[in-house]
Amino acid sequence: MTPPTTPDQPIGVAVVGAGYWGPNLVRNFQGSSAFHLRWLCDLDVERAKKVLGGYSTVQVSADLDEVLADPEVHAVAIATPAGTHLPVAMAALRAGKHVLVEKPLAANYSEGVQLVEEAARRGLTLMCDHTYCYTPAVLRIREMLHAGELGELHFLDSVRINLGLVQRDIDVVWDLAPHDLSILDFVLPPDVRPIAVAAHGADGIGAGRACVAYLTLELSNGAIAHIHVNWLSPVKIRTTIVGGSKKTLVWDDLNPSQRISVYDRGVDVSSAAGEDLGEEQRRDMLISYRSGDMVAPALTEREALRTMVDEYARAITTGTPALTDGRSGLRVLEILQAASRSLAEGGTMIKLDEGHMA
């Protein structure tokens, strides 16, 4: 097994995959003092060389075994198609390497379980690159929900739509919803979790798979979460509304000058007696509307991938789970699979397994 890495020694890392996401990982690992990028592995060696540039000292290989045989490689970052995540990540874990996997963690839940169990058995870090979770906005939302600043969560509504690339192998749920589901998993207070999901979708262009979809999740505290994903919208919208008993937060990811707005506006419900109410008494409850201030918290802009890379280094050096560890990836996979089943059954509400969500 790879020897433990000390905090004052850069972690030798290899990136596997030089396609769409790999170059972003390469750039951030090269910019991190916590890591030393040693290899870029891709079946297309020329593409990998082009990513690195003509003067790079990073080694290039099309042979994963060659990369994993390097004793100076302590960690691997995988940016290959989801269908390859199991064999590539499993090979890295069995070679004693810590593993970071691009979302989704695996092609399905059972494959994800194999990776989580293998990493646990070997005492290695397994982390899922849920990049959006490391944006300054989402980190702030998590902080506010966990601290109770918004009060008890009542609803979460997320819209992720644009005129996007229709994927050949997956539907819009598997393409876009992992972002929103990983964010939901990341920001929910520790005592709240999804317990059921229903999904409705449509294929208006005859692509053979859902191009527009709506996911509705029941949460354990009685709240509801709703996610709209869409490849066919002529306008791009990236908005999330988080409604609490005290305040409501609006996150507009396309508004760099004011990504987060917090509104002290909402509905207050009370009773004259302030006691437990029967069914008839509930009708006499006093409902009032408050209209307070709107505050736009200042956020320190920082590339999410850099924060994610720092978290990978922290998890490796401390031996503690990453904020988006393998189990968080599993929870997202379970919801995705349940949503697919719901789509196939015409929108049936599918219960989530409590054991799987732990």
Which CATH number is 245's domain given?
Answer: 3.30.360.10
Considering the domain architecture, whether residues 109 and 138 belong to the same structural domain is answered as no
What lies within 8 Å, CB to CB, of 327 at 6+ separation is 116, 321, 358
CA angle 160, 162, 163 (to 5 degrees): 150
Enter the tokens of residue 193.
């979790």
CA angle 1, 86, 307 (to 5 degrees): 75
Task: List alpha helices for the chain, DSSP H.
Answer: 22-30, 45-52, 64-68, 85-94, 109-122, 136-147, 172-187, 279-282, 304-318, 326-344, 354-357
Q: In this structure, is residue 314 part of a structural domain? A: no
Would you mind telling me the total number of residues written for the chain in this entry?
358
The answer to whether residues 41 and 80 touch, using CB atoms and an 8 Å cutoff, is: no
pLDDT on residue 294 = 87
The answer to whether residues 307 and 140 touch, using CB atoms and an 8 Å cutoff, is: no
pLDDT on residue 4 = 46
CB atoms within 10 A of CB 150: 21
Considering the domain architecture, whether residues 218 and 247 belong to the same structural domain is answered as yes
Last residue of a domain, one of 95, 124, 153: 124
Q: In this structure, is residue 323 part of a structural domain? A: no
Considering the domain architecture, whether residues 45 and 183 belong to the same structural domain is answered as no
pLDDT on residue 353 = 82
- What gap in Å lies between CA 77 and CA 79, rounded to an integer? 7
Considering the domain architecture, whether residues 207 and 297 belong to the same structural domain is answered as yes
Considering the domain architecture, whether residues 86 and 117 belong to the same structural domain is answered as yes
pLDDT on residue 215 = 98
Which pairing describes strands 286-295 and 350-351: parallel, antiparallel, or unpaired? Answer: unpaired
Q: In this structure, is residue 4 part of a structural domain? A: no
- What gap in Å lies between CA 2 and CA 124, rounded to an integer? 10
Q: In this structure, is residue 291 part of a structural domain? A: yes
Considering the domain architecture, whether residues 199 and 286 belong to the same structural domain is answered as yes
- Tell me phi and psi for residue 277, to 5 degrees: -110, 145
Q: In this structure, is residue 327 part of a structural domain? A: no
pLDDT on residue 2 = 46
Considering the domain architecture, whether residues 148 and 296 belong to the same structural domain is answered as yes
Helices first, then strands: H and E counts in the chain: 11, 15
Domain range for 153? 133-304+335-357
Considering the domain architecture, whether residues 32 and 141 belong to the same structural domain is answered as no
Splitting the chain (358 residues) into consecutive groups of 10 residues, what average pLDDT does each group show?
59 96 96 97 95 89 97 97 95 98 95 97 97 96 97 97 87 95 97 97 94 98 98 97 96 94 78 58 61 85 95 97 97 97 96 62
Enter the tokens of residue 278.
């029967």
CA pseudo-torsion sign 135, 185, 113, 175: negative
Considering the domain architecture, whether residues 106 and 194 belong to the same structural domain is answered as no
| Burial of residue 197, with CB atoms counted within 10 A of its CB: 0-12 exposed, 13-18 middle, 19 or more buried | buried
pLDDT on residue 355 = 44
The answer to whether residues 180 and 160 touch, using CB atoms and an 8 Å cutoff, is: yes
Count of the separate structural domains present in the chain:
2
